[in-house]
Amino acid sequence: MNLTRILSIVFLIAALAVGYRLYKGVDDVMQEEKRIANIEARVIEKLQMLRQAQQAYLATNGEYAGNWQDLKKFIEDGEIFIVQKTEETKLLDYGEEEVTIHYDTLGSVNVMDSLFNERKYPEFNITTLNVVPGSGGKTFEFFAGEVERGASKTLIDVFEIRDPAPVNPERRQNNNEKALRVGSKTDASTSGNWE
């Protein structure tokens, strides 16, 4: 074997090794991004369920649940009232209309049966609803309170449920500033920051 043939084989092996390392590096990054996206999708689904529960809790109790235990008890034992709203419009002599609204409570349904039934969430498990997926057992941070709005200082109920340990490194920057959350501590919003 001559020197040219030996060098060609050595360079070919080196080129294949470098190519494999590049492929492996790109593939690892893509797999990590898929893993993060999958975990974040599961976190978002749980935050949406918790938002539904908080909205039902507010409608029933007049305030948001400030902790997981109160919200869990409401999901397990609480009821949502079925209310029918009817409007009666009466034409007055001078052309104005008078609208009278009537509310009639038709009955109630369990929160579990209404919001978290098996048809909607076939794998629903209340004991793990507050556990953040992919976090190793950490639970969502709960906050509920009131903020003043307007010149009349009207008190508005607010809540925030937040992921305390984001898997995505971009969400961990600045003390988890961009962590997935639903609601707001400062505004009457029930939106999630992913929407």
What is the C-alpha separation between 5 and 125, in angstroms, rounded? Answer: 65
Residues 6+ apart with CB under 8 A from 132: 43, 46, 138, 139, 140, 163, 164, 165
What is the C-alpha separation between 179 and 194, in angstroms, rounded? Answer: 10
Question: Closest Cα to residue 128, out of 117, 141, 138?
Answer: 138
pLDDT at residue 180 in the model: 86
What is the C-alpha separation between 1 and 21, in angstroms, rounded? Answer: 29
pLDDT at residue 85 in the model: 87
Question: Closest Cα to residue 53, out of 76, 22, 26, 33?
Answer: 76
pLDDT at residue 48 in the model: 92
| Strand order across the beta sheet in which 154-162 lies | 141-149, 154-162, 181-183
What is the C-alpha separation between 58 and 81, in angstroms, rounded? Answer: 12
Which portions of the chain are predicted below pLDDT 70?
1
